[in-house]
Amino acid sequence: MDDMDFPTPDVEIESVTPDELKARIDAGEVVTLLDARMESDYEEWHIDGENVEPINVPYFEFLEDDIDAHVLQKIPEDREVTVLCAKGGASEYVAGTLKEHGYDVNHLEEGMNGWARIYEAVEVERYDGAGTLLQYQRPSSGCLGYLVYDDGEAAVVDPLRAFTDRYLTDADELGVDLQYAIDTHIHADHISGVRALDAVGVEGVIPEASVDRGVTYADEMTLAADGDEFQVGDATIETVYTPGHTSGMTSYLIDDELLATGDGLFVESVARPDLEEGDDGAPEAASQLYESLQERVLTLPDETLIGGAHFSDAAEPADDGTYTAPIGQLKDEMDALTMDKDEFVELILSDMPPRPANYEDIIPTNLGQQEADDEEAFELELGPNNCAASQESLAGD
């Protein structure tokens, strides 16, 4: 039974939009969420947080006319409960059933699909280069991107295809011309927006080093080699080749202030090395990652900000709300950055999380080897990104 098969409740059910729910969570309000998806879906991916009380009771538990008492006992009676599912149909039905039993309930519009459409832009206040730097944040998957703009020009780094119109709208509202759409690497967790933006007149840029993986559209793109620079007003974006997560992994130093590291280094972890060549190639990739971090990243001034392409539940935002941190701080906080190579490789390989959902379809889609329409692309990337090594083993005491 899918969301379209659920009958409309006999009682009126209030709904909450994903943006409204996010605002309540951000404000520190205690929120109780009843997730009516299957346990396996819930375990893989759900809304969480310090002030979020998630409960998982699958929708089918509410289909019987006589609901088991033990099911109802799982639902708090002394507070408002927001019911959610994948797309919104099951949650409305479950909320209606609970309301008939006297519960204070509402439901999340469009469910987790709606949650996945939240995309926020937060200014990186510690950025002291030319112009302004924004960090795009997708809380559903932890995806991050960057928009730098100055003197009527702009560039976006690691854009998502699902938000192509958002970048164009933001540029228009800021009164700037979006000049470049830049990818750090061939992503495994989401569909890149570089080709979609290139198709509407933005210059698409991909790492030259990623072409050997089988990119089918390289002739249509600008290829960024180590040391290449792109000018956005008075801001300079310098290409820094940092292989390890993938053979083509490339970072971009934005006006000597922030290094957009893609999936190489995050504020709470480092890259996993197994998504390109699998387990057999992971040791060599981990060794390469160590060299990139030690020789290309950690040699930058300690005050240089690091901004990855993802954040996890273990990440702590900076005071400005962005997931950025100075290199010096990361050296102090992350044991993995001060180990010798053998220790680093052993640690990285010892405890990797599950691979990103649908990565075996996402990678060839981003290479241009297979096609996905907009809806298929959106469905492919639902879920956690899992592009980092395990955070638990990397941090210091």
Q: Annotated active-site positions, please?
A: 85
- At position 99, the amino acid (one-letter code) is K
Tell me the two tokens of residue 149: 């703009």
Burial class (CB in 10 A: 0-12, 13-18, 19+), 393: middle
Main-chain dihedrals φ then ψ at residue 35, nearest 5 degrees = -90, 115
Give dist(CA 194, CA 41) in Å, integer.
30
Transcribe 176-237 into DSSP letters.
-EEEEEE-SS--SSS-BSHHHHHTTT-EEEEEGGGGGGT-S-GGGSEEEPTT-EEEETTEEE
Q: Domains plus CATH for the chain?
A: 3-115 (3.40.250.10), 120-393 (3.60.15.10)
Can you read off the two tokens belonging to residue 226?
């180590």
375: number of CA atoms within 13 Å, CB side? 0
Q: What is the pLDDT along the chain (397 residues), one digit of tens a residue?
A: 444 566 666 788 999 999 999 999 999 999 999 999 999 999 989 999 889 999 999 999 988 777 888 989 999 999 999 999 999 989 999 999 999 999 999 999 999 999 999 999 999 999 999 999 999 999 999 999 999 999 999 999 999 999 999 999 999 999 999 999 999 999 999 999 999 999 999 999 999 999 999 999 999 999 999 999 999 999 999 999 999 999 999 999 999 999 999 999 999 999 999 988 999 999 999 999 999 999 999 999 999 999 999 998 889 999 999 999 999 999 999 999 999 999 999 999 997 888 888 899 999 999 999 999 999 999 999 887 777 886 554 544 3
DSSP string, 124-138: -TT--SSSEEEEEEE
DSSP codes joined into one string, 86-152 = SSSHHHHHHHHHHHHTT--EEEETTHHHHHTT--EEEE-TT--SSSEEEEEEETTTTEEEEEEEETT
On the CB side of 319, CA atoms within 13 Å amount to 4
Residue 77 DSSP class: S
- 59 by DSSP, 3-state: which? helix
Task: Calculate the alpha carbon distances from 12 to 89, 173, 279, 345 in Å.
Answer: 14, 38, 52, 57
> Nearest Cα to 153, choosing from 127, 139, 125, 132?
132
Gap between the Cα atoms of 287 and 294, Å rounded: 11
Alpha carbon distance 267, 246 (integer Å) = 19
- For residues 135 and 315, the answer to whether their CB atoms sit within 8 Å is no
Establish how many alpha carbons lie within 13 A of residue 262's alpha carbon, considering only the half-sphere containing its beta carbon: 33
Question: Tens of pLDDT along 329-380?
Answer: 999 999 999 999 999 999 999 978 888 888 999 999 999 999 999 999 999 9
Which residues, including other chains, have CB under 8 Å from residue 112's CB and lie 6 or more apart?
37, 45, 46, 47, 84, 85, 86, 87, 140, 382
pLDDT at 388: 80
What's the pLDDT score for residue 397? 37
- The DSSP call for residue 60 is G
The position carrying tokens 């680093």 is: 344
User: Do 107 and 13 form a contact (C-beta atoms < 8 A)?
Assistant: yes
Evaluate whether 264 touches 288 at the Cβ level (below 8 Å). no
pTM of the model: 0.93
Could you report the per-residue pLDDT of 174-211, keeping only the tens digit for each?
999 999 999 999 999 999 999 999 999 999 999 999 99
Helix (H) or strand (E) holding 26: helix 18-26
Residue 15 three-state SS: strand
Q: What is the rounded CA–CA span in Å between residue 41 and residue 118?
A: 20
pLDDT for position 1: 40
